[in-house]
Amino acid sequence: MFDEQFAEILGMIAAVLTTAAFIPQAFKVYRSGDTSSISLSMFIVLNIGLLCWLSYGVILEKTPIIFANGFTMVFAIYILVKKVQNH
């Protein structure tokens, strides 16, 4: 039904959008330093999930999965570290 190239493009679009979703939150934390409204347990679980997805992408050698989860982890870890520092 769908060819591999279409699936790869769709995956890259998803990767860009899901990664971009974390940028405003990371900048808000950077500017204000306020993490009081962020759930520590959610960000711990999120980072574990991102690490699992990243590992999965590496095992399968799927660039969109690696890209999305690798870059998202950068922002999510930053937010998690600031949350722990402010906790």
Q: What are the domain boundaries of the chain?
A: 4-86
Tokens matching residue 63:
């660039």
In order along its 87 residues, the chain shows pLDDT tens digits of 668 889 888 888 988 998 899 899 999 999 999 999 999 999 999 999 999 999 999 999 988 899 899 999 999 999 999 999 988
pLDDT for the residue 1 = 60
Q: Which residue blocks in the chain are alpha helix, DSSP H?
A: 4-20, 23-32, 40-60, 63-86
CATH number of the domain located at residue range(s) 4-86 in this protein: 1.20.1280.290
Report yes or no on whether pTM surpasses 0.75.
yes
Asked if residues 76 and 50 have their Cβ atoms less than 8 Å apart, the reply is yes
Bin 61: left if φ > 0, else alpha if -120 < ψ < 50, else beta. left
Q: Where are the alpha helices (DSSP H) in 33-62?
A: 40-60
CA distance 52 to 75: 16
Dihedral sign for Cα atoms in the order 11, 72, 34, 44: positive
